[in-house]
Amino acid sequence: MEKFSVQQGSIADLDLLTRHRLMMWEDIYPEKKESIEATENITRDWIRKKILNNELTSFIVRDSNGSITGSGCILIKED
C-alpha cells in the first residue's frame, strides 16, 4: 500500500496551487478550458492575497518518493 504525507503549503507553493486549482476547474468544465486558463494571473493573485491575509491555508500531498500527488486549499471565512 502506498503511503502519503500531507504537509502545510506556503506562499512558496503558489505556482503549484494555482496550476492545481485551474486544473480542477478544467476537469469540471472541459469546454471552458481556454477561458479558465486565461484566469491564471487573477487566480494566482487571489491565492497569494488570501494566503498573506491568513484567509486560506493549503496542503501538499506527496507519495513515499516525495513526488507531489495532490494539493488542497481551505478558505477561512468568517460567517
Per-residue pLDDT tens digits for 36-60: 999 999 999 999 999 999 999 999 9
Measured distance CA(27)–CA(37) in Å, rounded? 12
Total domains present in the chain = 1
- Full residue range of the structural domain in which residue 31 is found: 4-75
Q: CATH number for the domain including 52? A: 3.40.630.30
Distance separating alpha carbons of residues 13 and 8, to the nearest angstrom: 10
Grid look-up 503549503 returns 9
- Mean of pLDDT values over 6-17: 96
- Confidence band (pLDDT; 50, 70, 90) for 75? very high
Judging by beta carbons within 10 Å of its beta carbon (0-12, 13-18, 19+), is residue 35 exposed, middle or buried? Answer: exposed
Burial of 42 (0-12, 13-18, 19+ CB in 10 A): exposed
Asked whether the predicted pLDDT for residue 78 surpasses 90, the reply is no
Compute the mean pLDDT over every residue in the chain, rounded to the nearest whole number. 95
